[in-house]
Amino acid sequence: MGELPAWVDAFPELRDIEDPVWVDVANYATEAVLPPGSEVFHEGDVCRNYIFVLEGATRVYKAFESGREMVLYRVQAGETCSITTSVLLAGGLYPANAVTETECRAVLIPANDFHKVFDTCKGFRDYVCTVFGGRIRDLIMLLEAVTMRNVNVRLARWLLDNGSSAGLVEASHRELAFELGTAREVISRHLREFQKNGWVALSRKNIELLDIKALLELVGGYR
């Protein structure tokens, strides 16, 4: 009878579930396209939907009282947001913010439907729990990164992880500070240091990785 809609193909763990409740909810779900920079949720909001991201990337971050902000993680295509899951399962209000970085195509499942499927459909439940549980480990690792105060190491790692295959990073110092939970000036100084060493070339909103080997060596022990 019911067939799963095409968007579920992006989620292998959910594609083969034949539970009619799930099929029904999946078909009823609304699809949305958000332009880059849209606010997906904001601290203090109530949560109305479970969100599957089909295309694009969304940044989840916490704004601290001091005015500093820090990226907690990203939700990429084919993923779901753990904080949303947490709020749906445990109740309460959103404890962080999320903004689309690129244009995002997403599917929204109303909270009621989410709970209905979660209660009846083991496959769906397993998926949700797995994604959710994995994020606690990520947060603990983030905690480790923040308490260990080698910003230069973390910066080098970030550049290596996020540079294009050609060794290019398009990001302002402010954005990098935001990523690493530190201050813009600190990033500027470390980048200048890298530049002095001949490891990178700097221009406006642009960092070229010249000596990847040296950067890797700096990152060295820190995985």
Partner DNA sequence: CGTTTCTTCGTGAGTTAGTCACAGTTGGTC
Partner DNA sequence: GACCAACTGTGACTAACTCACGAAGAAACG
Distance of CA 159 to the CA centre of its chain: 17
Q: Where are the beta strands (DSSP E) in 35-112?
A: 39-41, 49-55, 58-63, 69-75, 79-80, 97-100, 104-110
Rule CB under 8 A: is residue 62 a binding residue for a copy of itself?
Answer: yes
Angle at which helices 20-28 and 111-120 pack, to 10 degrees?
A: 160
Rounded to whole angstroms, how far apart are CA atoms 66 and 31? Answer: 36
| Identity at 93, one-letter amino acid code | L
Residues of this chain, 101-160, that bind a copy of itself according to CB under 8 A: 119, 122, 125, 129-137, 139-144, 146-148
> Which of 70, 123, 188, 210 is the binder for DNA (CB under 7 A)?
188
Which CB atom, from 31 or from 193, has the smaller least distance to DNA?
193
Phi, psi of 58 (to 5 degrees): -120, 140
DSSP 98: E
Determine which residue in the list 6, 66, 137, 166 makes contact with DNA, applying CB under 7 A.
66
The distance of closest approach from Cβ of residue 211 to a copy of itself in the complex, given in angstroms and rounded to an integer, is 25
Number of residues that bind a copy of itself (CB under 8 A): 43
Binding site for DNA (CB under 7 A): 66, 68, 149-152, 172-175, 181-186, 188-192, 202, 204-206
Which residues lie near a copy of itself (CB under 8 A)?
62, 64-66, 68, 70, 72, 82-83, 85-92, 95-96, 119, 122, 125, 129-137, 139-144, 146-148, 181, 221-222
